[in-house]
Structure 1
Amino acid sequence: MTDTPGTGPGLEPGLAEAQRAHWQRTYTANPGMYGERPSAPAEYAAEVFTAAGARDVLELGAGHGRDTLHFARAGFRVVAADFSPTGLEQLRSTAAEQGLADRLSVLTHDVRDPLPLPDASADGVFAHMLLCMALSTEEIEALVAEVRRVLRPGGTFVYTVRHTGDAHYGAGSGHGDDIWEHGGFAVHFFPRELVDSLAAEGWSLTEVHPFEEGDLPRRLWRVTQQTSRETSR
């Protein structure tokens, strides 16, 4: 099969665009769908970033920004990236209402493409369930390499993913590469070896913490890893 832009090796053409459209409709129909309180992983990440003396934070998959706003309130300068302009517009509006607009900037971006940010420009990167969206393994590997590029030496990456012990793994429509679609949302469920491989080069894996979230409940890992203090490349 010849890959088309945005589909990734092993993924059928159109899956990425279908997911983008689905998220646009979801944010439009459900403004502030995740509520105002930050996620537990974001609260943890803010503590880790603070302890490390971080100033600049990048959030990938920011959505309507409940975690972005938490980082801004904690005193960080935040770049919030998402492929949904609708979600980011909700974030921009809420930040202005809360007097936080000067602490953050928004970036409409598809993480299948290189990050449009300079090398060594962030102290911390956070991604809550972004890596386990409809991304191929190759695309995930490329994204993590980009995260390492934009982090400063000793920078911290905190991300969460649903894993193969989740009740929805193997349910619904299979798209290959451990990607399963249920209720319109396609998820790449992570085996533990994928977590380890993503931290194998240029990283120090600090923690893989299992936790549950939501009504199913969803089963996830919260992963913390750091770049070498000598170089971020």
Structure 2
Amino acid sequence: MTIPKYGLSDAQRRHWQHTYAAHPGMYGDQPSAPAVHAAKTFHAAGAKNALELGAGHGRDTLFLARSGFTVQAADFSATALEQLHEHAQEQRLAEQITTILYDVREPLPLADASVDAVFAHMLLCMALTTEEIRALVSEVRRVLRPGGSFVYTVRHTGDAHYGTGTAHGDDIHEHGGFAVHFFPRELVDSLAEGWTLQEIHPFEEGELPRRLWRVTQCLPR
């Protein structure tokens, strides 16, 4: 059965709101390994500011701020962003962080070429259609300055959960209330068209373990 895209995405928003409320700081306070890689990549490219898409309660946002970047943290969960703001105040990082309540199905509320770098850990593989993913990457390209870096991670079709659970079509499968769009390699390649694709790094995360790709691509100058 295929669920209309907005029905599934809106259900996921409610699910994430409930999850963050029930489990504050659910991912802990240590940065993800992709965020550590992103900080090194962004520094090497001379970035001063960064946009994080799907920031959640902010473990990676806070790390990027501690690493010297000013960060705009976007997420569709108001609950998660409230937690992020509280943590930023506790760590005296509030002046470096701006939160944006944002639905990735909509255009980014940022000016063209206004961002040095973009980071998205597990955001592109949420309950988004391929069409919505392509539109989001086009928005990332629009707001990035020439030479800017985009680092994102996604679960892929080699993951143990791919093809199991509740199927929603378009390589989207749901487990435990969480819907995931599993990426085939050709989708990663197509999203890099017009970019300089620097790396597709396979890695594992979590207990299953989840199988992911960390993709690093750069906007030509």
CA distance in 2, matches of 1:181, 1:68: 27
Cα deviation per residue 1:90-112 (whole Å; 9 max; x = unaligned)?
A: 00000001000000100000000
Task: Report matched runs for 1:204-219 at 5 Å.
Answer: 204-219=196-211
Q: Which runs of 4+ in 1 moved over 4 A?
A: none
What's the TM-score once normalised by structure 2's chain length? 0.98
Cα deviation per residue 1:188-228 (whole Å; 9 max; x = unaligned)?
A: 0000000000011x211110000000000000000000001
CA distance in 1, matches of 2:141, 2:96: 23
1:184 counterpart (177, 182, 185): 177
Stretches of structure 1 that go unaligned for 5 or more consecutive residues are: 1-8
Q: Secondary structure at the match of 2:80?
A: helix
Q: CA deviation at 1:12?
A: 4.8
The match for 2:54 is 61
Q: Secondary structure at the match of 1:152?
A: strand
Stretches of structure 2 that go unaligned for 5 or more consecutive residues are: none
1:107 aligned to 2:100? yes
Contact 1:56–1:77 at 8 Å: present in 2 too? Answer: yes
1:52 aligned to 2:52? no
Contact 1:12–1:175 at 8 Å: present in 2 too? Answer: no
Contact 1:119–1:151 at 8 Å: present in 2 too? Answer: yes
The match for 2:71 is 78
Task: Report matched runs for 1:1-233 at 5 Å.
Answer: 11-200=4-193, 202-229=194-221
Q: Secondary structure at the match of 1:94?
A: helix
Identity percentage of aligned residues: 72
Corresponding pairs, count: 220
CA RMSD across the alignment: 1.1
CA distance in 1, matches of 2:81, 2:63: 15
Contact 2:5–2:128 at 8 Å: present in 1 too? Answer: no
Q: Which amino acid aligns with 2:86?
A: S
The match for 1:4 is none
Q: CA deviation at 1:14?
A: 1.4
Q: Secondary structure at the match of 2:200?
A: strand
What's the TM-score once normalised by structure 1's chain length? 0.93
Q: CA deviation at 1:11?
A: 3.6
Contact 1:180–1:188 at 8 Å: present in 2 too? Answer: yes
Cα deviation per residue 1:93-148 (whole Å; 9 max; x = unaligned)?
A: 00001000000100000000000000011111000000000000000000000000
